[in-house]
Structure 1
Amino acid sequence: MAGTGVASIGECMLELSGQTGPNWRMGFAGDTFNTLWALHALSTERPATYVSAFGDDPFSQGQIGFLAENGIGIGSSPVIAGARPGLYAITLTGAERSFTYWRSDAAARQLASDPAALAKNIENQALVYFSGITLAILDDAARATLLAAVAKARSVGSLVAFDPNYRSRLWRNREDAQAAIVEALAVTDIALPTFPDEQMLFGDATPQATAERLGQLVGEVVVKNGEAPALVAQRGTLREVPAIHVAAPADTTGAGDSFNGGYLAARLAGHDPLEAARRAHRVAAAVVQVRGALAPFETLRTAFEG
């Protein structure tokens, strides 16, 4: 039987943001970490574990310390001698962001290097979450190890959530990404795709097409689409949930990740999918009004409760 904790698997990077001339602010972020941040803020009674691999350099030590200061553990995630975290910088044009990455030798690419530790990290969890970026940073053997561990956790009661989060530059080719994501969907209970990603990867013409395609593989699907309504698909029924318009967003970084965290927190708290999507939209709207990917916990909680 699954426990009460939540585990998110992926890569936490160094984030450079808030550019003002030559001055930058350094933080920690990454899609699956952003989701766990929001989920943890909104489910404080649930132990939170970030499952990855870390280096032994000062920046990695800073990451681990930052997680611990905010109540997030790393479980049995390996700490690898000589490794270091990936890095990205956010540049903004208005509120729209673009990213520059340095991540080819990031420690997180070795998160499945110890299969026993990986399995231990996600066993006995109420929820296990991962993304298409988690898959993309792994080689074929490591990806198979990860999916086997997730499948085992699911078989003994963990709820599995997955965001395909397609980023073409991380994959050798489109066909590899399609195959890996379909394999991940086979062990998923809740899918949280973004329509433009699915359109790019699978050629879906509409959000409805995405929901119907994924609904054949996964029992619960929520298709995000920016400021357009989210589409909730469950048991063959499609329902729209309007997004919240923010007139002057400060930074859209992490909005979709935080939507996922809000949605999953609401579902774990017993809310139905439509109410969960409404709360998730409120969380995402709050996040785009702050700089960087991580909003203060209190900001997230206030938005979630409405």
Structure 2
Amino acid sequence: MQTVGKENHSSVSEFLLLGFSSEPQVRMALFIFFLLLYLITLLGNGLITTLIYLDSRLHTPMYFFLSILSMVDMSYVTTTVPQMLVNMVCPRRTISWGACVAQMFIFLVLGNGECVLYAVMAYDRYVAICFPLHYTLRMSRPICIKMVTMCWCISIVGSLVYTIFTVRLPYCGPHKINHFFCEIPAVLKLACADTTFNDRLDFILAFTLLLVPLSLILASYMRIFASIFRIRSSQGRIKSFSTCASHITVVTMFYAPAMMMYMRPGSWYDPERDKKLALFYNVVSAFLNPIIYSLRNKDVKMAFLKVFGDRRTPQ
């Protein structure tokens, strides 16, 4: 590490990512496990995206948003896991200041984008169940593209503000980040300045980018459930519930640990707990999403058989 002193302000040129364990055998076992998890995550989400692209029956708003989610998940894990795998086999385990800042920003953009995207997907289910006759008009292709564009605009602006106010702080040592990647709460612990303002900004942005989309999701499902309970046919109710079950599951897996991470006071910082939470909403969630969306989804199964299996699958 190089340190430059200048009027009581010092800057570091690189950080040391401590990761999970310093024991060589444990690190090798974790390397194999996370490598397999990463490859399966890429394969599963890539397969979902490919099926949606190739099968015309899946060219609907719901599957359009699902393909975006799969691409986000692949990018999300690629932002953190390759660096983590390299650090498990590389004795230095360092990351440059510039790479750390880039990782923070990209991670936030993808994470915040996923938060807003879940709200968009909930709105899609709300329109499909509550206004089926107007679904094609309300969820046309141009409108869907505008929703996704809005999602990324909100995410980029929020992430840019959060990152700028993090990197403007002085970092003069220590340079050891007790995490497996440059996540902002862990990096802020190394700042040589009062981070009270950043903690407040963290709460405001978390409220805007986590609680506001979550509130929209809850409001959508309250209306959805009210409409479902008015359906007289039990089979119709079950079918409507099944179209929402996958989305509710992945929203819960993502939002619960993310809120525990970003909406708690800075004084509650616990590096070991935070690493586990980050693993869950970053790696495990991306790994499980294609499984959850495909196992109970007949359309995805049929598309798989059509593209890769039995060509005689009925159209």
TM over 0.5: no
What TM-score results when the alignment is normalised by the length of structure 1? 0.26
Name the TM-score, length of structure 2 as normaliser.
0.26
For CA contacts below 8 A with separation 6 or more, give which structure has more relative contact order: 2
The structure richer in helix per residue is: 2
Tell me which structure has the larger Cα radius of gyration: 2
